[in-house]
Amino acid sequence: MNYNIAVISGDGIGPEIIREARKVLDTVGAKFGHSFSYTEVLMGGVSIDATGVPLTDEALQTAKNSDAVLLGAVGGDVGKSSWYNVAPHLRPEAGLLALRKGLELFANIRPAVLFDELKGACPLREDIIGEGFDFIVVRELTGGLYFGDRWTKEVDGLRTASDTLIYNEKEIARIAKTAFEIARKRRKKVCSVDKANVLDSSRLWRQVTKEVAEEYPDVELTDMLVDNCAMQIVKNPTQFDVILTENMFGDILSDEASMITGSIGMLASASLGETKLGLYEPSHGSAPDIAGQNKANPIATILSAAMMLRYSFNLDKEADKVEAAVREVLKKGYRTVDIMSPGKTLVGCDRMGDLIAAEI
């Protein structure tokens, strides 16, 4: 079967890591009898240089017409690049926000996986991480405090600011269903995180999530307050399978989770909507300081491509193969500079891609 992928190489190390992800995808296609067609789309700084805006209407339409979108990275050095001497809506990162909005992507999926070979880079004690951990944060992406009404004005002679946190039952139900569907592909456990002891929005969140859970009797649902969850991630991360939470809580918890995996260069992510069309990207930035030097770690992008195989194309076996290939290459001692340790073999971005593709 053929799958159409809109490819956004973007800025900085983006073109290098995308090249390696495509290499791996093509190897998967050859092995399993699939084909992948790639359409290049400009976004970010390169789009500003070419068109004057970070994302054109034509580029967005191309993304909408694809089966999935694979993104490298956008942005540059804020202090040096002319891309930032403009209004915020014309800066490179504004293209990403416009893309998410245009594709109606409301669910951000951030895995937190500690590979056995990288346990030494984890800041947690060995007795805490045990045999390692593997969980996913499912964050609602388009509602809540970040998208509510806000104002700053003088009230009774005092400068006063207000931000409004609003969720309706539809927004909660659709992200909850995403979490339960993901859990069905994993260990069938969802931990819904809220602040129901204080917030009305969290009380509605908890109520609607329990209603959705009735449609998934094979998945275990637990509730946890956000402050406790923040503690449990560093106290006992192995307990989690899928963490479901709202926008601001998810923003904070997913960053916390990323820091206990050893390297941000290993972290994949996906943004999903109500259709199979999703956006897949590494969690790290464009790293302009090492762009073009063959030093970038392509693993996060390759693992993002594996998520694309799993969630947009329903190719679970193929996704498993990619993830297993990454583990095997790490087991054999190959490392890019960001995860290098004594006694291991240093390789560049292109060589790491070659090694992973060879394992497939």
Q: What are the catalytic residues?
A: 146, 195, 227, 251, 255
- 304's enclosing H/E stretch is helix 299-311
CA 351/CA 116 separation, integer angstroms? 21
CA 34/CA 188 separation, integer angstroms? 29
Of the candidates 253, 263, 260, 343, the one whose C-alpha atom is nearest the C-alpha of residue 303 is 263
CA 98/CA 44 separation, integer angstroms? 11
Query: Which residue reads 């209603």 in tokens?
Result: 211
Q: Which residues contact 130 (CB under 8 A, 6 or more apart)?
A: 238
User: Burial of 65 by CB count in 10 Å (0-12 exposed, 13-18 middle, 19+ buried)?
Assistant: exposed
Upper half-sphere CA count for residue 179 (Cβ side, 13 Å)? 33
CA 226/CA 203 separation, integer angstroms? 13
Buried b (16+ CB within 10 A) or exposed e, 319-353: bebbbebbbbbbeeebbbbbbeeeeeeebbbebbb
* DSSP annotation string for 148-167: S-EEEEEETTEEEEEE----
Contact between 102 and 54 (Cβ < 8 Å) = no
Paired tokens of 226: 């956000």
Q: Which ranges of 65-155 does DSSP label H, i.e. alpha helix?
A: 92-102, 126-129
Contact between 290 and 320 (Cβ < 8 Å) = no
Alpha-carbon distances, residue 220 vs 106, 190, 237, 244, 305 (angstroms): 23, 6, 17, 13, 28
Contact between 150 and 161 (Cβ < 8 Å) = yes
